[in-house]
A and B are shown apart, each in its own frame.
Chain A
Amino acid sequence: MTLDPNTFLAIVAMAVATALTRLAGAFFIRYISIGEGTREALDAIPPAVLMSVIAPTAFATGWAETIACGVTALVATRLPLLACVAIGVVTVVALRSAGL
């Protein structure tokens, strides 16, 4: 159980940087008057962030991932979360073992 001083400093730097990003948005939004346009823009943030995180997997990794993402999106409107994730994971494993 060692703790290297350089490693500890790096962890603290990462923690401080991350904490700042977590607090900044909620802090600054209090000073912006939320009209209808702002509300609509804020509502677009969740899908925009999530799409950005998954886009490289969905469209730039391989056919197995792209197809599995499509299958997951198709079942997402009808089935609960866990079932959709299971279907997505099984699909990607099947397609990868098929050589895609």
Chain B
Amino acid sequence: MNSENQFLLGTRAMLPIIVAAIPIGLVFGAVAAANGLSPLEVTLMSALVFAGGAQFVAMDIWTHPASWTGLGLAALLVNVRHVLMGASLGPRLAAFSPWQKYLGLLIMADENWAMSEARARTAPLTPSYYAGMSIPFYLNWVLASFIGAVLGAFLGDPAVIGLDFAFPAVFIVLVAGFWKGPSTGLVLMASAAAAILVHRYVEGAWYIAAGAAAGLAVALLAGRFGKTVPAE
């Protein structure tokens, strides 16, 4: 299959997620504008940071003048899950040249990463397919947040029409696709329990890192346990 087809296949697979990201981007732009950021600053943040979770957290803790240490640290914390995601995705990028790989990783977000992992289970992940998913998704986020910043207060609360639920729903469907049996159930229970506990008692975005680490720890333990049993 040629690379143009691969690009279009990737875009088509990503389309529902791109549509779901439009209201989120609009809301981010509006929230940022309400925090006193200009449309130029909003667009720069979306283009350079390109991480919705970290950008919303930044709006929660925004100060005047902005504190680069506090905001940089918050972004590091919210996005530390990317380290695990990159470790998982890295070996799937065998068909990428070095610059394709690192450029691709620079625009890796939850959504295109999860879709890449899902794709890699059924077919080799090509650079064109990854670009077809990621480039429209990236441009869409930057444009939506710019429009949101310009429209600002004209936009209402996304919770009224349930759009705040679009991304949790996307992630649930993707989780279901990663089900491999009872061992996945153990991982999910450990991640959920740790995430909820930390979310409840610790301020900030630590819960994502805690949940991911708990799931990984259970998988490592289950792997070790699974190997010792047949030997007996």
Residues of A within 8 A of B (CB): 1-4, 6-30, 34, 36-37, 40-60, 65, 68-69, 72-73, 76-77, 81-82, 84-85, 88-90, 92-93, 96
Given A21-B80, A48-B216, A90-B162, is A4 in contact with B85 using a C-beta cutoff of 8 Å?
Answer: no
Whole-angstrom distance between the alpha carbons of A53 and B45 in the complex?
Answer: 22
Smallest Cβ-Cβ distance to B55: which chain A residue: A14
Given A14-B49, A48-B216, A60-B196, is A25 in contact with B82 using a C-beta cutoff of 8 Å?
Answer: yes
Contacts of A82 in B (CB 8 A): 16
B192 lies within 8 A of A59 (CB): yes
Given A13-B71, A81-B170, is A18 in contact with B192 using a C-beta cutoff of 8 Å?
Answer: no
A41 lies within 8 A of B219 (CB): yes
For chain B, residues 22 to 78, give those with C-beta under 8 angstroms from any C-beta of chain A.
37-41, 44-45, 48-51, 53-55, 58, 65-69, 71-76
B50 lies within 8 A of A45 (CB): no
Interface centre among A42, A55, A68, A96 (most CB of B within 10 A): A55
A29 lies within 8 A of B86 (CB): yes
Residues of B within 8 A of A (CB): 16-17, 20, 37-41, 44-45, 48-51, 53-55, 58, 65-69, 71-76, 79-91, 93, 101-102, 105-106, 108, 110, 114, 117, 159, 161-163, 165-166, 168-180, 183-184, 187-188, 190-192, 194-196, 199-200, 207-212, 214-216, 218-220, 222-224, 227
Whole-angstrom distance between the alpha carbons of A48 and B50 in the complex?
Answer: 22
B65 lies within 8 A of A52 (CB): no
Smallest Cβ-Cβ distance to B222: which chain A residue: A40
B48 lies within 8 A of A60 (CB): no
| Count of inter-chain pairs, beta carbons less than 8 A | 297
A96 lies within 8 A of B85 (CB): no
B40 lies within 8 A of A3 (CB): yes
- A53: shortest Cβ distance to chain B, in Å? 6
24 example contacts (A-B, Cβ-Cβ < 8 A) are as follows A1-B39, A3-B44, A6-B67, A11-B44, A14-B45, A14-B71, A15-B49, A17-B72, A17-B76, A17-B79, A18-B82, A26-B101, A41-B216, A41-B220, A44-B218, A45-B87, A45-B215, A46-B85, A53-B168, A53-B208, A57-B165, A68-B165, A69-B168, A88-B166
| CB < 8 Å neighbour of A84 from B55, B89, B169, B209 | B169
Contacts of A58 in B (CB 8 A): 168, 172, 192
| CB < 8 Å neighbour of A46 from B17, B117, B209 | B117
Contacts of B114 in A (CB 8 A): 46, 50
B106 lies within 8 A of A22 (CB): yes
Smallest Cβ-Cβ distance to B110: which chain A residue: A53
B173 lies within 8 A of A48 (CB): no
